[in-house]
Structure 1
């Protein structure tokens, strides 16, 4: 607020059908009570009693900014207000300071020397403004010397100096550190000091993300003292980073009930149950004589039904498993498990389905639209669950009344970006015309699809990337065929989630449709594409700071219909068409000095595919192939750059499609909204799935996911005898 601005009325506060005018002089005085000239200005203006009384009503009503309010209260406490109506009440509120015993410590040097080890006079209105606890205490206390319960609340004794300093000088005056963050949070929570509570909570959340040892420590501490907010925050971070958390030195020091509760939790973020086995054995091995009684319970947290033959072999060969003959016998007799051995799981698990129910994923992939051999552009969304290795189909005719993610329009060759939990489908082709529209869907509110601002140009075969809240639409085809490039574009435009329009930026150095784009280290990279006459092996980079495009090293292959993916500090060019055939080779770009290098091969040659980064790998979905036969693909594979470019076969799409668009969504609770009963579906020997009719679902063919080819080599097959046994 500009306190020096001219004008009669800065704030009008309506109260009891009357209003007051806060003049610039009054607000300047309130903001700076130490300014004698400003105070004299108020005296010279001879403010009426009623006006000043209304000023206090404005303060109480919360219509002033915190700085103006704080300044006015300071001014009021140092000014003779005896002529004001209701002066006795005003004196009670702002005419004295409340004395709180202060303690020496790290925060003491930030207070006046006279307060250290004695009492700290803090203005009562400043305390009441900051803390609802003090607000109530001051109103109903006749004593100006407040005694806090230091004996019962040690965190108050440790942090009161910094708390008082924050009340005097604002929250920015307090230093939140790893060694005091929990005590400050408890003090702020106890004193109902909301601004400081939020500040410390944000700090703790950020630190727990980086420091899993701190997360474990806070989780254990909040189990002893009832701090549900801290408990949930730390626990969520532990299950999100489970494989790393169990390597911390604090892990074996946790109590059994905490370890058991964690290992049983469905939200553990691990791609293999071997991580759960490792966590249990590390905890048991620290003090085997005392902890051996808990061994059977902890090992029963390992969901055997989710383990493949290799993982089960690792489990059976583990030295410590020999100490549990009942579990070892269960594994050796698998899948023909005698009833008496199943009692091991019955008494340690709520039900046998626990042993086979997939864990809840923290990441999932959404795939939109696609060109189908029979239907052309498809109006549908598919969601991949990496824990169950299944696809959930959402389409306009799907029986999912609680979710309208499937109401997406027909769209192919479009871009797909998720920014601030809002999904954007950019441009594309609907089977009849090129599109400049942007369809948006808020993943959290689930309020349905809505139209965002339209692009300047129609674009399909478009590639897109985002940096922060900015989104870029790059190249593509306008649908016009009369210009020199047959409708293909070199233009680029951008928008922000906070803007309502697209703006042009510098054009690429080359006309490109069917290119790939990705953002890395604050810059946009584009590779490959087609200009109407030839396929490109060139690549270029855009720097938003200079609004300039520059060429980088050429790829080893020409690639149209290529996907460019950024993962870690590396770019990967996947698939594409070199003008003669589709490509299976993957090449990577990390440094200009190294250029593009071979990184691996896909299982099939393909172009016009979709990719998404998922759990340390790159999912490659659908596309068009000419090997061994020409056609649209339903196959899905996961490319792992860290494993010498190896690929893993995943469940097929619900329908074969090329020219799709895909994105990764994150957040366990968010993802559960879009997976439906796929959280309970997996190919495993322990789980007996209910029929669609029993589950109350329509058995539409497009919503039934078949087992991926080759899955019998990965999972055990349950006999009918075992099915009867488990039911």
Structure 2
């Protein structure tokens, strides 16, 4: 018998065998229906009631919440709102209705914000919902730079503050943010809280700050100046930074120089190395400026492919392994380090351009072993299906693409005869491609990325030379303008944005395959050197992966940092010719 029939019987009062009374409100019910959705009611009716009892009083919740729980027992659905979610969750937890508990937790997880994450985390300590508790706390750590200005942060206990700022997972670009947060917290109730300052300061990684900031902002602070213990911490941090003090290694035991974990890592996947394709995967840890080899050796090598990070998974699309031009797509789960096959594309594509827009993966152009392609297709992970979209206006192999303002942009490439200067955008709503302004030069093997409301085109090959030049497209004006050039020329490299900087990774410089990495600051229009990869390679693909619960597995181990010997004491510090 369907649940709707039972609900109709309940509403008509037919065959009901019990009455639930909450305060002065009575609900006629069928015991077996409530027992099915709650072990509490099963025990209540079986062991905690008298024989023949028909009326059952339940306290600790309102009649409105009881009505919702009974409705759920009969229909399997419940209307959760911002107004009722906390009261409903407490009631469902009390009566052990896991279906409603899950619905409420899912709702609260979706509502997490800078303003409520601390309150939700505090609330979860009163109920059995470990996943929501973890999600809320992770949200606090991940959005700490904004959370510190919320009213909830000011009302945290000193124990809560210590727990938060002591975590490696605390996401801050600058350690000065942590120092300023504790100053802000103390200022909310100075007489009551200033006695905790030394304990809080010991959790700040002072040696990660600049020497100038330590001297100008920390050492000069009145709370520091009036506390001998705090002054000693600052002096030790300055000694670590300048590498001049004795007994260096003992200072690092108190975490003054221990890097935080990154909230996101840049993955360099596959490529061409030493004359062969590679299956090597390296992760860039921006907090330590270092690469970590996270290859598991279980995946088939591929180069000239595309990658995409979507819904917590990494997709490797198309490519080439010297023997086969792939139409296959592989999905990598970074939590379990396992690979899975998903639906193949309609076309074989190496030199493919891949990007993500509105929950879909787009694969465009490329080379199938015979022809440069103008075709394009789109993958929906929910259905595990590819569908063809309108073809581009011309054949593009070895181009690059990105997304901005709900459009896909693809630039440059090679059409089989010449390197291309053209670029075009795709609108999913109309399924149409539109030409945009020409780049300032021809670019095949180019890197294209969206950042700061512009499309950046970096490096590549113009048919004669590997390029250092870079330019940016303003979609509002339909114009390109030149930027500072890279430190090194390169084509067929990886490109991604990490913490507001554009990283370019590896590639081919015209003579050798490279492992060097540099990044661009769009505010200063400057390129700077970053740590080299371990694997030299071109034809790789990069993606940025964020929010992993196992992020420590993709970062330099914090308990095994290399040692630098200074004046006899140990000090922890962070550390071929091929044609394309």
Q: Normalization by structure 2: what TM-score? A: 0.86
What aligned pairs does 1:55-204 form with structure 2 within 5 A after superposition? 68-72=2-6, 74-75=8-9, 94-102=15-23, 118-140=25-47, 141-142=49-50, 143-150=53-60, 156-157=61-62, 160=65, 163-164=68-69, 166-167=71-72, 170=75, 174-177=79-82, 179-204=83-108
Alpha-carbon distance between aligned partners in 1 of 2:36 and 2:452, rounded to the nearest angstrom: 47
Give 1:225 shift: 7.4
Instruction: Tell me: CA distance 1:132–1:572, structure 2 relative to 1, closer, same or farther (3 Å).
Output: farther
Are positions 1:515 and 2:399 aligned together? Answer: yes
Instruction: Tell me: CA distance 1:333–1:477, structure 2 relative to 1, closer, same or farther (3 Å).
Output: closer
Give 1:365 shift: 1.6
Give 1:451 shift: 4.1
Instruction: Tell me: CA distance 1:722–1:322, structure 2 relative to 1, closer, same or farther (3 Å).
Output: farther
Q: Which has the higher helix share?
A: 1
Aligned counterpart, 1:558:
442
What aligned pairs does 1:26-425 form with structure 2 within 5 A after superposition? 68-72=2-6, 74-75=8-9, 94-102=15-23, 118-140=25-47, 141-142=49-50, 143-150=53-60, 156-157=61-62, 160=65, 163-164=68-69, 166-167=71-72, 170=75, 174-177=79-82, 179-208=83-112, 211-222=113-124, 228-320=130-222, 321-324=224-227, 325-334=231-240, 335-337=243-245, 352=253, 354-372=255-273, 374-395=274-295, 404=296, 406-425=297-316
Are positions 1:652 and 2:528 aligned together? Answer: no
Q: Which has the higher strand share?
A: 2
Structure 2 residue corresponding to 1:466, chosen from 337, 356, 359: 356
Per-residue displacement from partner, 1:543-588 (whole Å, max 9, x unpaired)? Answer: 3343332212322332211122234644322222233433334333
Decide whether the 8 Å contact of 1:122 with 1:168 is kept in 2: no
Are positions 1:492 and 2:376 aligned together? Answer: yes
Larger Rg: 1
Q: Normalization by structure 1: what TM-score? A: 0.70
Q: Give structure 2 stretches of 5+ with no counterpart.
A: 574-580
Alpha-carbon distance between aligned partners in 2 of 1:724 and 1:598, rounded to the nearest angstrom: 43
Instruction: Tell me: CA distance 1:272–1:314, structure 2 relative to 1, closer, same or farther (3 Å).
Output: farther
Aligned partner of residue 3 in structure 2, secondary structure: helix
Aligned counterpart, 1:640:
521
Aligned counterpart, 1:543:
427
RMSD: 3.3
Size of the aligned set, in residue pairs, is 564
Are positions 1:455 and 2:362 aligned together? Answer: no
Give 1:237 shift: 0.8
Instruction: Tell me: CA distance 1:393–1:445, structure 2 relative to 1, closer, same or farther (3 Å).
Output: closer
Give 1:453 shift: 3.9
Alpha-carbon distance between aligned partners in 1 of 2:400 and 2:276, rounded to the nearest angstrom: 23
Alpha-carbon distance between aligned partners in 2 of 1:224 and 1:328, rounded to the nearest angstrom: 39
Give 1:528 shift: 1.1
Aligned counterpart, 1:6:
none
Q: Give structure 1 stretches of 5+ with no counterpart.
A: 1-29, 31-67, 81-93, 103-116, 151-155, 346-350, 396-403, 481-486, 683-687, 690-716
Alpha-carbon distance between aligned partners in 1 of 2:63 and 2:187, rounded to the nearest angstrom: 38
Alpha-carbon distance between aligned partners in 2 of 1:258 and 1:266, rounded to the nearest angstrom: 15
Aligned partner of residue 489 in structure 2, secondary structure: strand
Instruction: Tell me: CA distance 1:214–1:600, structure 2 relative to 1, closer, same or farther (3 Å).
Output: farther
Per-residue displacement from partner, 1:624-673 (whole Å, max 9, x unpaired)? Answer: 236xxx433322123233x2434443211113222111112222323333
